[in-house]
Structure 1
Amino acid sequence: MQNHTHNVFNVAGMASHRFSRAVLTAAVAAISMLGCSQPEPIKQNAPEYGLVTTDDANEDIGTYVLPQDTSIADEPNAEQIIYGKRLLNETKRLLPDNVGASMNCNSCHIAQGKIPLGDPYINSHNFYPRVMPRAGKEVDLTMRINGCFQRSMNGKPLKPESDEMLAMLAYMKWLSQNTPKNQKVNIDNAGKVDESLIPDPVQGEKIYHAQCATCHGDNGEGIKDSRGDIVFPPLWGDESFNIGAGMARTYKAAAFVKYNMPMGIQTKGLWGHGNVLSDQDAIDVAEFFTHQPRPDFAKKDGDWPTVPKPKDARY
């Protein structure tokens, strides 16, 4: 079902460029042409950092409205979408044959893939297929998910037509909320850090024990509950992501850490956006934990076949 706000997005979207950063402006123009009242500007809970919290997102991200999970019940494939949501939250427990690490998809995709700068799924349905530098070829969303299973999960790919893969795709499609295929919601998947900074792993270890060890363990082992389910994922060791994962790269990990960690530092929203650490601190701690022992990735020699590999690649 579409509400009025979703229809407004569709009008705006038809007039926008695929990767426009002015979605809201286009929406206002389109609404004015229709003689409708203009939407109120977005009020962010964290204006100092230019971030959008979950509370903000529940009001509006551009002209895209972050859906409440209760609205899944209105969808004709509600059972499939809910299953996909569960798989992304409980990946290790529900897919033990495919997940080698003690990780869930949402260990890295914050708040069920709904948080800007926390690797959200909001644009995933429309972002693929596309040519990816690491693969050196066009990759669709099914291939991208299976890449995560083999790298971040240190496991095995799902069959493309399996119920599990189709369910995860259904959840991501639902989260796109019928955004036109040639459009992109005006959010950032990840923040940026200054990649000219030189990492200091010695300082990074000190930061880790001060800021990260409470959740991820003194030895990067993570925390499980009494049932053995993952509370906080391990950052190194045999049960962590392998060297082929994006999170094993210093600067990519630093950007994630800077804008999402430590968690719980704000009183509103599902997750505390970071900005506790400076760029240098985030890069230092990322250099420390990404270079700890972790599983190898057997297919690493096939990465970046057409372009130079990034300077922070682990191999």
Structure 2
Amino acid sequence: MNRLLDRLTQNGKFHPMWIVLAVTGVLIVASIVFIPARYEGSKEPKQKIAVADHAAAETLPEPDAGQHESKPEPAVIQTTHFTPPAERDMPTGEMGDMIKLGRNIFVHTQVYAKNLVGNGLNCVNCHLDAGRKADSAPLWGAYVMFPAYRSKNHKVNSFEDRLAGCFRFSLNGTPPAYNSKEMLALTSYSYWLATGAPTGKELAGRGYPKLDKPPRQPDAQRGAAVFEKNCAICHGADGLGTKVNAQYAFPPLWGKDSFNAGAGMHSVKNAAAFIKANMPLGKGNSLSVQEAWDVAQFVDSHDRPPDPRVKK
């Protein structure tokens, strides 16, 4: 560089190379000053954007959060699991005798309350295992839920009212008097089965389980095939039950000795739920939802005693 300068200044005259040197010098200085400044300037907006994005991320709600706040989820009703006392723990004395009588009436209604029954059924036919089995309207699940309003008769019912309804419709008979030994015995048995159960709490297994709607409309013709394959062996090919020693070992599902048209089981929805959870006997939940609805439609399509509330 020094030699170049000497050559340019030897004669003291202006030389064109001065222009090149001047421009080069300016570019060098500019690069030293301008490029770092630009680099630093380019970093600052990115930092600001990042901070802004972070702040937005903290304040924006989660997807659908506003919907959850404006439409809160309904409270979930918790069901309580309950196991009734074992039969070996049934009390002794007069109370025990009344409880045992109640169990006998419930299981052998045709023997212990024959004068109150108008068909061939026993209470245990719809409430399995002596009223103990979950998902078959067990007595312990019903007892703790009364008094209760029932749309069937449009009034608040006592537990005695509920038992009276079973005699009137399911047994197609005459309700026992409210101060009778039969009514007291059945109430005592139900009370004992519910020993330790919380009053007014929805117990798991109470009633019949809610059954999904079938994929197709219930059909009696399809139900006839389900009945023949799964039900006829116990209830008879004609559905009129199977007798042993003049008593029904397996109940009739229609006809004069079955429940009347006012019974809860005459509702296809109720019958389907009971069948799905409990039938064939000992093989509950083996039928599909569609099969349960179809066979319930088939059973309830047959003739039976009329609803006593309907005038002939």
Q: 1:82 and 1:299 mapped to 2: Cα distance?
A: 33
2:183 — aligned with what? 165
Q: How many residues align?
A: 235
Letter in 1 for 2:78: R
Moved more, 172-181 or 102-111: 172-181
Q: 2:310 and 2:124 mapped to 1: Cα distance?
A: 24
Aligned partner of 2:141 among 123, 146, 149: 123
Residues 291-310 of structure 1 mapped to structure 2, 5 A cutoff: 291-300=301-310
Q: Aligned pair in 2 of structure 1 residues 22, 149: CA closer, same or farther (>3 Å)?
A: closer
Cα deviation digits, residues 263-300 of structure 1 (max 9, x gap): 123xxxxxxxx111111111111101111010001214
2:56 — aligned with what? none
Aligned partner of 2:241 among 216, 222, 233: 222
Q: What SS does structure 1 have at the residue aligned with 2:213? A: coil
Shift of 1:74: 4.7
2:308 paired with 1:290:
no
Q: What SS does structure 2 have at the residue aligned with 1:151? A: helix
Unaligned residue ranges in structure 1 (runs of 5+):
1-18, 24-61, 266-273, 302-315
2:29 — aligned with what? none
Shift of 1:65: 3.6
Letter in 1 for 2:165: G
2:271 paired with 1:253:
yes
Q: Which protein, 1 or 2, shows the higher relative CO under an 8 Å CA cutoff with sep ≥ 6? A: 1
Q: 1:276 and 1:188 mapped to 2: Cα distance?
A: 20
Residues 195-206 of structure 1 mapped to structure 2, 5 A cutoff: 195=213, 197-206=216-225
1:275 — aligned with what? 285
2:248 paired with 1:191:
no
C-alpha contact (below 8 Å) 1:195/1:251 kept by paired residues: no
Q: 1:172 and 1:244 mapped to 2: Cα distance?
A: 23
Shift of 1:76: 5.6
Aligned partner of 1:21 among 72, 78, 99: 78
C-alpha contact (below 8 Å) 1:100/1:153 kept by paired residues: yes
Q: 1:233 and 1:203 mapped to 2: Cα distance?
A: 22
2:10 — aligned with what? none
Q: What SS does structure 2 have at the residue aligned with 1:240? A: coil
Cα deviation digits, residues 235-259 of structure 1 (max 9, x gap): 0001000000011111110110011
Residues 57-136 of structure 1 mapped to structure 2, 5 A cutoff: 62=81, 64-74=82-92, 77-136=95-154
The structure in which a higher percent of residues are helix is 2
C-alpha contact (below 8 Å) 1:93/1:229 kept by paired residues: no
C-alpha contact (below 8 Å) 1:131/1:137 kept by paired residues: yes
C-alpha contact (below 8 Å) 1:21/1:186 kept by paired residues: no
C-alpha contact (below 8 Å) 2:146/2:200 kept by paired residues: no
Letter in 2 for 1:207: V
Aligned partner of 2:226 among 179, 194, 207: 207
Q: What SS does structure 1 have at the residue aligned with 2:144? A: helix
TM-score, normalised by the number of residues in structure 1: 0.71
Q: What SS does structure 1 have at the residue aligned with 2:212? A: coil
Segments ≥4 residues shifted beyond 4 Å: none
Q: 1:233 and 1:172 mapped to 2: Cα distance?
A: 23
Q: 1:188 and 1:150 mapped to 2: Cα distance?
A: 22
Unaligned residue ranges in structure 2 (runs of 5+):
1-75
Letter in 2 for 1:130: A
TM-score, normalised by the number of residues in structure 2: 0.71
Q: Aligned pair in 2 of structure 1 residues 275, 162: CA closer, same or farther (>3 Å)?
A: same
Q: 1:91 and 1:206 mapped to 2: Cα distance?
A: 32
Structure label with greater radius of gyration: 2
Q: What is the percent sequence identity of the aligned residues?
A: 33
Alignment RMSD, CA only?
A: 1.8
C-alpha contact (below 8 Å) 2:120/2:258 kept by paired residues: yes
Q: Aligned pair in 2 of structure 1 residues 186, 199: CA closer, same or farther (>3 Å)?
A: closer
Shift of 1:141: 0.8
Shift of 1:20: 5.0
